[in-house]
Amino acid sequence: MSATTISAITASLLDDSLIVTRHEGDLRRDNANRGRPRVMLTLNASAARVVGAKITSSGIFFVVTDFEGVVLAHLSVPVRVSALPLDMLADLVEDGVRRCVLDAGLGLADVTTVALAVPGIVEHGLGRVRSSTVLQGSDVPLAAFMSKRLGVTTIVESDANAIAKAQHWFGQARQCDDFVLVSPEDSLGLGGDA
């Protein structure tokens, strides 16, 4: 990318307060005393807060992070989750999200997104659970239902795909162009990222 393109992208991110400048002394090169000093950029940790929740048959696990990925609060709810009606699962998720957000010293209005990971087959992008061991029925519009209930944008992904994405972005699969992840929990989950 050209310097002009990078400057335009950076200016847009600064305008949106997603990044901020950080000054650390004189950052000019020793041999180049002319021009503006370099400006260091960093993520704005308070630009977004996200609640993540993993739903398993033996419990629901919640975490609140800031935009830098720093954990602000976490909560484990040991509860047997198996083929629950949507309203009952939604009650458990809502209670956990609200408790974890409160433990982080925040309110739901401070949360940008809630991300749920469930075992089973989830239609990516729509958050529609086609089949899962934790929900009764099939074709459950979990993302839309929880977004409306919480008043916060909610995304839903299969737990195996969520793990695969995390491994590709931050874990042992960072250097892989293609890979498959097998997640043997209560059922067999397959995920991949390319």
Quick one: 17 and 90 in the same domain? no
- Both 62 and 105 in one domain: the answer is yes
Measured CA to CA in angstroms, residue 96 lies from 40, 73, 74, 93, 129 at distances of 38, 11, 10, 5, 20
What single-letter DSSP state applies at residue 118?
Answer: E
The 10s digit of each residue's pLDDT in 13-58 is 989 888 898 866 555 555 555 666 677 888 888 889 999 999 998 9
Is 119 in the same domain as 132?
yes
With respect to residue 109, please indicate whether it lies within any of the assigned structural domains. yes
Residue 193 within any structural domain of the chain = no
CA-to-CA dists, residue 168 to 121, 152, 158, 171, 194, angstroms: 20, 27, 15, 6, 9
Residue 175 domain flag: no
Residue 87 is part of which domain span? Answer: 48-159
pLDDT the model gives residue 185: 67
Same domain, 60 and 149: yes
Q: 52 and 30 share a domain?
A: no
108 within some domain: yes
Query: Of 138, 143, 136, 171, which is closest to residue 157 (Cα–Cα)?
Result: 143
CA-based Rg of the chain, rounded to a whole angstrom?
A: 20
Query: Is residue 179 one of the residues assigned to a domain?
Result: no
pLDDT band at 182 (very low <50, low <70, confident <90, very high): confident
pLDDT tens-digit readout, 86-133: 999 999 999 999 999 999 999 999 999 999 999 999 998 899 999 998
Verify that 25 and 62 share a domain, yes or no.
Answer: no
CATH number at residue 92: 3.30.420.40
For residue 192, tell me if it sits in a domain: no
Structure tokens at 110: 């401070």
How many domains does the chain fold into?
2
36/113 same-domain check: no
The verdict on 65 and 106 lying in the same domain is yes
Q: Are residues 117 and 74 in the same domain?
A: yes
Render pLDDT for 129-159 as a digit per residue (tens, 0 to 9).
Answer: 999 989 998 999 999 999 999 999 999 999 8
pLDDT number for residue 34:
62
Residues 55 and 142 in one domain: yes
> How far apart (Å, rounded) are the C-alpha atoms in residues 23 and 88?
50
Residues 35, 52 within the same domain: no
Residues 59 and 102 in one domain: yes
| 93, part of any domain | yes
Would residue 124 count as lying in a domain?
yes
Dihedral sign from CA coordinates of 66, 90, 79, 130:
negative
Q: What is the pLDDT of residue 22?
A: 81
